[in-house]
Structure 1
Amino acid sequence: MRLLLDKQIELIDPSELLRPEPAFADKCLSKFRDYSINEEDPLKERVRRTYRAMHLNQTVDFVKARHERWLKFNTFQATVREALEKLNDLVDESDPDIDLPNIVHAFQAAERAREEYPELDWLHLTALIHDLGKVMAFYDEPQWAVVGDTFPVGCKWGSSIVYRDHSFEGNPDGENPKYNSKYGIYEPNCGVENLLMSWGHDEYMYRVLKHNKTKLPHVACNIIRFHSFYPWHNGGDYKHLEAPGDEETKKWVLIFNRYDLYTKSENLPDIDALWPYYQSLIDKYLPGVLEF
């Protein structure tokens, strides 16, 4: 469902995201998304191994199989709150920035969005639920098919994908002429909404929202769908596949990513005190029991 946006926001200068502004976080922004390799660092090695498994196994056939598995929406039923509370027990194995349960990050992101744009309640809820698709990890989906940055399958892998130089070795799509060219299975300027994305929590939650007929605006759904598509919105890859309108999607994803990435810290929100406000947004935009 498409709703008229309450407010137009100018595209932020990406260079602003690279400056050590204390308003965003408790550490310099250059310290976020550090994917350097250090075999002596357990956190860095956990992240690297997760991406290696992802890049080895995410193929066109694999993604289509996951659609067949998950898009029946018959795995479980839960309210948004119940699903969020499941994330108490999940630590994202692809995240180099924080080692806390995902529900903490959800409230950190939501509160920063609320602070900056208090009038855009749909954006607050979008930030709260943006990682909710990670509940797949509790139903036998390996984390490399749940978390981490996303990318299109079926065409040449973008040069800015993390660990790009070595982590795709052995992926059969890299040897398939149908899938390893610049355009692969796509037409020029087909639009990001028409890409077959690597399987993970972004695509899954987008589909859950649409299946459950959310009242969130379409741009909110696209924020969730593409917030981990860093090779596109941050790395500058895949411009040849963009269509008119994709810049607007990118603008909102970049706005959102200030809350997603730069709020990760050890400062813990008072989740119990915040629940009444966010429950009111859930009741407005995504009420009742959802099918996952």
Structure 2
Amino acid sequence: MIVSVEKPNGISSDFDFHSMMINCSNALIWFSATQAKSAEQAQPDANKLVSNDQFTVPQNNAFGSTFRDYEVGARTDKVEQHYKASHINQTYDFVKKIREEYKKLNKAEMGIWECCELLNEVVDDSDPDLDEPQIQHLLQSAEAIRKDYPNEDWLHLTALIHDLGKILVLPKFGGLPQWAVVGDTFPVGCAFDEFNVHYK
């Protein structure tokens, strides 16, 4: 449930204040952010984002490196090993077994921020761009989306929570191998497609 919240007293009027409350697992978490630019100024130029009716993907990541380059970089070997293990082990039968186990929803009950903090313990082996705890990725994603789309608070939240499932690699939540949890997904039970990451 998302509830609108008025700007608290004491916040300077030249800041654009965005906040939301989330009621999740009986815990209220207050997410807020301020920014100096007005919403109109912060909106991205549509011509820069869309070309030929398609979203234009940025060429560089936040660190100035080529974005999502699976062939070049310090993490190339680790990423390649990850996808090899994933493609070998992520079978239809394995997915059915894991789905039965995890649909019980009996591992834990927690608030969103508590879950985010657990990602301080997870570094995603499938990510060619980031060799840092996943909480940094969540916060970077949410802030980047908030900067480009300041009026879309639902999108800020989506960016923040999009990788919370990665806690499944932690022992408390089953200690699944990373190949079973992280990385680009692909359908199982059918022919392996050449468009899958690390197809070969």
TM-score (normalizing by structure 1):
0.48
In structure 1, the partner of 2:95 is 63
In structure 1, the partner of 2:67 is 32
Structure-to-structure mapping, 1:128-277, within 5 angstroms: 128-138=160-170, 139-165=174-200
In structure 1, the partner of 2:127 is 95
Secondary structure of 1:100's aligned partner: coil
CA distance in 2, matches of 1:57, 1:103: 27
CA distance in 1, matches of 2:107, 2:59: 43
In structure 1, the partner of 2:25 is none
Aligned length: 150
AA of the residue aligned to 2:110: A
* Cα offsets for 1:175-227 (capped at 9, x unmatched): xxxxxxxxxxxxxxxxxxxxxxxxxxxxxxxxxxxxxxxxxxxxxxxxxxxxx
CA contact (8 A) 1:37 1:45 kept: no
Deviation, structure 1 residue 120:
0.9
Alignment partner for residue 86 of structure 1, among 114, 118, 121? 118
Change (3 A) 1:19 1:103: closer
In structure 1, the partner of 2:146 is 114
Q: Which has the higher contact order (CA 8 A, sep 6+)?
A: 1
Instruction: Please identify which structure carries the higher strand content.
Output: 2
In structure 1, the partner of 2:57 is 17
CA distance in 2, matches of 1:19, 1:97: 12
TM-score (normalizing by structure 2):
0.68
Secondary structure of 1:78's aligned partner: coil
CA distance in 2, matches of 1:19, 1:133: 27
In structure 1, the partner of 2:107 is 75
CA distance in 2, matches of 1:27, 1:128: 22
CA contact (8 A) 2:68 2:129 kept: yes
CA distance in 2, matches of 1:137, 1:79: 18
CA distance in 1, matches of 2:95, 2:108: 21
Task: Indicate yes or no: 2:167 matched with 1:127.
Answer: no
Give structure 1 regions of 4+ aligned residues with deviation exceeding 6 angstroms.
none
Gap regions ≥5 residues in structure 2: 2-45
CA contact (8 A) 1:106 1:128 kept: yes
In structure 1, the partner of 2:12 is none
Instruction: Please identify which structure carries the higher helix content.
Output: 1
CA contact (8 A) 2:142 2:156 kept: yes
* Cα offsets for 1:19-57 (capped at 9, x unmatched): 46xxx63415xx12222278xx5x221111111110001
Deviation, structure 1 residue 104:
0.7
CA distance in 2, matches of 1:123, 1:148: 21
CA distance in 1, matches of 2:161, 2:176: 19
Deviation, structure 1 residue 18:
5.4
RMSD: 2.4
AA of the residue aligned to 2:133: P
Deviation, structure 1 residue 163:
1.7
Secondary structure of 1:94's aligned partner: coil
* Cα offsets for 1:211-257 (capped at 9, x unmatched): xxxxxxxxxxxxxxxxxxxxxxxxxxxxxxxxxxxxxxxxxxxxxxx
Gap regions ≥5 residues in structure 1: 2-8, 166-292
Quote the sequence identity (%). 47
* Cα offsets for 1:52-73 (capped at 9, x unmatched): 1100011111110010111110
* Cα offsets for 1:247-270 (capped at 9, x unmatched): xxxxxxxxxxxxxxxxxxxxxxxx
CA distance in 2, matches of 1:26, 1:53: 28
AA of the residue aligned to 1:151: F
CA contact (8 A) 1:60 1:153 kept: yes
